[in-house]
Amino acid sequence: MTDLSGSHAVTDRPGGGTTVETTVNGASAASAAESERIRGFLDEACPTTPCLAVDLAVVRNRFARLSAELPGARICYAVKANPDPRVVAELVGLGASFDVASPGEIELCLRQGAPARSISYGNTIKKPTDIALAYQRGVRLFATDSTPDLENIAASAPGAGVFCRIAVDNTGSRTPFGRKFGCSPATAVRLLRRARELGLVPYGVSFHIGSQQLSSEAWEHGIAAAAEVLHDPEMPADAVRMVNLGGGLPATYTQPTPELSEYTAVIEDALRRHFGTGRPEVLLEPGRHLVGDAGVLRSEVVLVSEDSAGQGRWVYLDAGRYNGLAETEGEAITYRLRTSRDGDPLGPVVLAGPTCDGDDVLYQHTRYELPSTLRGGDTVDLLSAGAYTASYSSVCFNGFEPLTTWCFDSAETIERA
């Protein structure tokens, strides 16, 4: 259980014992400074709540760090994490590539100036018309994990490159994929052979070890499975050797995560051990890691009430499950919080959203403590909320508007909302 109390995240360690992290609100000092700059923007701009403020300087910083840690790897931003056009345009300017899930994301990237050849269609579930549209717009790289999808690609995107997604263990991920995607290494070899027969270019293999992956070792298992495919003697001789390491790198929530350098050390080591000098082309599809820490979701307290049924104090925010905080489902993602009354004495709370829906409760099993002075009109900031918030917001559930995004650049102190 994680207890977010005031300026310290208190975390129960596996095997017992409670550690008080020597960090600010569960984050590194650098990440705390980033969220302070976003607070400065929000305090000054005073936008209507709920809203998401994104600092493009943080996106640039994450992209630069990741590029430096994994030199030579092609970074394809997973657009679904935050499809705000200003975020995509910033990444186009940095020379990023893009992982997209639909024609809508392809059009978005093209509108922001992304070259069609920088786009990889990473969704294994697509209609023939979607494939045809992608091909017509110049996309030439597609993920697959099944024969029907492969045959659709061959029919609608002749001569395109295909990589095969294999299923890997998602243990350690806060939001695992279950069994929806991926095939066995043996099936991947068969599909890539079939791709060649169908006139496609067998390009390589991909995996995703689950989003917000807290165990760096997960990549070792994924890379080992990918090597099994690429080294298979049945692989087409002229196949391009590419391994796509997917997403999964973390943002900063309440659970401590390893440093980025720990993840990249495991990745580099696994690539060295499994491929030696014949290292394949390496792709990455980070979403959450590039934009998560760049955003703060500001909400207003609608109501604080004492629960007569004895469940304690309920704090209702104007942001909930349906207008930005979808990833609180199952309490998978536990955001760090900051309130306008920080410093006052704390007490336990249940946190809930504003709609007339019984599932619109954010945290009732994860222990959160907030100032006992908190009342309607105060603000609660959800930190590191730049990923999978605005893009998950419903259009109008209960008449609440979708979450609005404000982008600014703390390096330039220019607002670009």
Ligand X SMILES: Cc1ncc(COP(=O)(O)O)c(C=O)c1O
Q: Which is nearer to ligand X, 83 or 122 (CB)?
A: 122
Query: Is residue 222 within the footprint of ligand X (CB under 6 A)?
Result: no
Select which of 164, 356, 396, 407 is catalytic. Answer: 356
Cβ contact 194:187 at 8 Å: no
Least Cβ distance, residue 165 to ligand X (angstroms): 7
Query: Is residue 285 within the footprint of ligand X (CB under 6 A)?
Result: yes
Backbone dihedral angles phi then psi of residue 29, each to the nearest 5 degrees = -60, -35
Q: What is the DSSP string of 119-174?
A: EEE--S---HHHHHHHHHTT--EEEE-SHHHHHHHHHHSTT-EEEEEBP---TTEE
Tokens of 272: 């060295």
| Dist. CA 271–CA 241, nearest whole Å | 13
Single out the residue of 122, 182, 256, 324 in contact with ligand X (rule: CB under 6 A): 122
Cβ contact 56:409 at 8 Å: yes
Single out the residue of 56, 66, 78, 315 in contact with ligand X (rule: CB under 6 A): 78
Backbone dihedral angles phi then psi of residue 75, each to the nearest 5 degrees = -95, 115
Query: Is residue 81 within the footprint of ligand X (CB under 6 A)?
Result: yes
Least Cβ distance, residue 358 to ligand X (angstroms): 27
Tokens of 145: 């994990």
Of 339, 348, 358, nearest to 310 by C-alpha is 348
Q: Which is nearer to ligand X, 99 or 381 (CB)?
A: 99
Of 324, 334, 335, 337, nearest to 389 by C-alpha is 324
Exposure on the CB side of residue 182, measured as CA atoms within 13 A: 23
Single out the residue of 176, 222, 287, 295 in contact with ligand X (rule: CB under 6 A): 287
Size (the chain), residues: 417
Cβ contact 161:141 at 8 Å: yes
Q: Nearest residue by C-beta to ligand X? A: 247
Query: Is residue 327 within the footprint of ligand X (CB under 6 A)?
Result: no
Least Cβ distance, residue 288 to ligand X (angstroms): 4
**For this structure, is 356 an active site residue?**
yes
Q: Which is nearer to ligand X, 7 or 187 (CB)?
A: 187
Q: Which is nearer to ligand X, 248 or 280 (CB)?
A: 248
Q: Is the dihedral of CA 276, 281, 286, 290 positive or negative?
A: positive
Query: Is residue 286 within the footprint of ligand X (CB under 6 A)?
Result: yes
Least Cβ distance, residue 148 to ligand X (angstroms): 19
Query: Is residue 208 within the footprint of ligand X (CB under 6 A)?
Result: yes
Residues 226-265 close enough to bind ligand X by CB under 6 A: 246-249
Least Cβ distance, residue 78 to ligand X (angstroms): 3
Report how many residues bind ligand X under the rule CB under 6 A: 16
**Mind telling me the catalytic residues?**
356
The site for ligand X (CB under 6 A) is made up of 78, 80-81, 99, 122, 208, 211, 246-249, 285-289
